[in-house]
Amino acid sequence: MARSTKEEALETRSRILDAAELVFHERGVSHTSLADVAKAADVTRGAIYWHFKNKSDLFDAMCERVTLPMEAVLEENASPQVADPLGQFLRSGVYVLTLAATDEHCRRVFDIIYNKCEFADHNDPILVRQRECHADGMLRLGQILANAIARGQLPATLNIRLARQMAHSTFSGLLADWFFAPDSFDLVKDGEQILAASLHALKIAPSLQNPEA
């Protein structure tokens, strides 16, 4: 009986997350209430509060269903044990782009993040959490670049702060542009070439080197 109850709770949680994903995507995050999600999931508001503290917590859980596997890949890539940091980073980037273009849940969540989050409050908990995730990602990206320098794949004079900003801006820009206009380019095929070009630029661009070095 206890096992059945646990399975039912997990099923209800999953149904709430599915409903949140659909309603956030249809109405936008700011214009969606927990009552809207409860109605779409065919549960009570109490059922939502049983699983999630508030809308921010629900939003985080919805995002984490698709982003946690990607974050795990990025964290693994940041390990000093990786023999080919740049190659692994490129392959992981293409993997994420492919998911964004082909996986239904991933595509919807990324579209919500890039196009359906309307924040009027600078201290909105959802926005604060997004900034924290951004900061964590930048730290891991910086470690990947440091590993690439240690492996001789990038020059020792590379300005890691500028390099990680360029790499992140390239990747994030690909996603933002594609979700704004999906028919404007091939996210996977063109994206791989653009990512490869940006990594090549890290090796040769004089403007990305430390002048004092």
CA distances from 45 to 40, 41, 89 (A): 11, 10, 42
Average pLDDT of the chain, as a whole number: 91
Contacts of 52 (CB under 8 A, 6+ apart): 16, 58, 61
pLDDT at 164 over 80: yes
Confidence category of residue 213, pLDDT binned at 50, 70, 90: low
State pLDDT tens for residues 8-42. 888 999 999 999 999 999 999 989 999 999 999 99
H helices present in 28-54, as ranges: 34-41, 45-51
Q: What pLDDT score was predicted for residue 42?
A: 94
Distances (CA, A) of 129 to 27, 50, 72, 169: 21, 21, 18, 19
User: 109-134: per-residue pLDDT in tens?
Assistant: 999 999 998 776 777 788 888 888 88
Give me the residue spans of the domains in the chain: 1-52, 55-208
**Rounded CA separation 205/213 (Å):** 14
Categorize the per-residue pLDDT at 1 as very low, low, confident or very high, splitting at 50, 70 and 90.
Answer: very low
Query: Where does 55-208 sit in CATH, by number?
Result: 1.10.357.10
The pLDDT of 102-110, averaged and rounded, is 93
pLDDT-derived band at 66 (thresholds 50, 70, 90) equals confident
Q: Using one digit for the tens of pLDDT, what is the confidence trace for 68-97?
A: 777 787 788 888 899 999 999 999 999 999
Fold of 1-52: Arc Repressor Mutant, subunit A (1.10.10)
Same fold, 1-52 and 55-208: no
The whole-number pLDDT of residue 78 equals: 86
